[in-house]
Amino acid sequence: MNFIRRLLAPASFLYGAGIWVRNKLFDFNILKAKHPGVFVISIGNLSVGGTGKTQVSIYLAKALKELNPCIVLRGYKRASRENLIVSSYDAKTYGDEAVEIFLKTKANVVVAFKRIEGAEICKKLGSKIIILDDAFSHRYIKRDLDILLMPANRMKDRLLPLGNLREPYSSMNRADALIITRLESFDMPTLNINKPIFGAKAFFRAFVDKNFEDVDISYVKGKSFSIVCAIGDEKPFIRLVENLSKDIGFKIEDVKIFPDHYFYKKEDLESNKNYICTTKDLVKLRDFDQFILGVDTTLDIPGFIDFIKNKYEKT
């Protein structure tokens, strides 16, 4: 491992230098950013992999429903290239996270490779607030609030390709506030930074079926399930399902893990098994014949919505 790290160190240094130059070009307004004329909140992180960005975007959209929020995201691994307003379950067209947000919030969701173009669509839809999902490093659109997510279990890392960081930790200074996620499983870390810091805990809400309707616990109790997931960081989800199996009383047969945003094939799942997955996975498994349930979670981020509303009212 040390030998591999030594090999990757020069590439990591060069990557970091490139990021530094790019950020300075934005800082000095050489690379231009545009504001869409509607209050913009960016939800993002420093690292690749799951930190809970999509769930925070969902949390915000639900809490700010009266402002007709519109969520903009790239739509990672979608088949389409054009800018689209999400209007169906079609994860291949819109991307799995876009469909998940749409189903869980009933808000306007726009997929656009250029976020500013997506924001312009939101403006035409009459949205008073735009939520950018996964946009901390996407600096071509100006934002009123930059919210940076950091998982409590991954506070030390290195730049790509040596580690998982897209940007160095010094980029935290660009954020208006931090949210520390995964606090349902890990302790709050100590951070030496003069920014508002909020803690996020995820809690089990309900099992949902392929139509995203709640399922009674009696359908789960006593049954056997396999866990299947294709997300950025599967460990917290697996831990949650293991705890639910003990509390509710169902058996976990095995676990199948796929790459993040993976689109499932029929042969990936066995015909005679029941499955439990994330709601992000569930949008891609709706056409499968097996009995499949999604685990829907909810967040608790004390003080965060009041912080957002206060900033919005002052703008």
What rounded mean pLDDT belongs to the chain? 95
SS3 state at 123:
helix
Q: Which of 40, 299, 300, 44 is nearest to 178 (CA)?
A: 44
pLDDT at 120: 98
Task: For residue 50, name the pLDDT band (cuts at 50, 70, 90).
Answer: confident
**What is the reported pLDDT for 307?**
98
So what's the pLDDT on residue 3?
64
CATH number of this structure's domain 204-297, picked from the four choices 2.60.120, 3.40.50, 3.40.390, 3.40.1350: 3.40.50
Closest CA to 72 of 114, 26, 126, 128: 114
Residue 315 confidence (pLDDT) above 90: no
Give how far Cα 259 sits from Cα of 65, 111, 142, 230, 256, Å: 33, 21, 32, 5, 10
pLDDT of residue 48: 87
AA identity, residue 276: I
Q: Considering the chain, what percentage of its residues have pLDDT values greater than 70?
A: 98
| pLDDT tens per residue, range 230-288 | 998 999 999 999 999 999 999 999 999 999 999 999 999 999 999 999 999 999 999 99
Question: Is it the case that residue 6 has pLDDT exceeding 80?
Answer: no
pTM (2 d.p.): 0.94
Write out pLDDT tens, residues 295-311: 999 999 999 999 999 99
Owner of token pair 């959209």: 61
- Which whole number is the average pLDDT over 97-114? 97
Pick the CATH number of 2-201+301-314 from 3.40.50.300, 3.40.50.720, 3.55.50.30, 3.50.50.60: 3.40.50.300
- Reply yes or no on whether the pLDDT at 43 is more than 60: yes
Q: Please, where in the chain does CATH 3.40.50.300 lie?
A: 2-201+301-314
- The residue-averaged pLDDT of 68-86 equals 96
Burial (Cβ within 10 Å: 0-12, 13-18, ≥19) of residue 42: buried
Q: Ramachandran region of residue 37, left (φ > 0), alpha (ψ -120 to 50) or beta?
A: left
Q: How many residues does the chain have?
A: 315
Tell me the pLDDT tens digit for each residue of 111-162: 999 999 999 999 999 999 999 999 999 999 999 999 999 999 888 899 999 8
pLDDT surpassing 70 at residue 5: no
- The Cα-based distances of 303 to 127, 176, 200, 241, 306 in angstroms read 24, 15, 10, 28, 5
Q: What is the pLDDT of residue 2?
A: 59
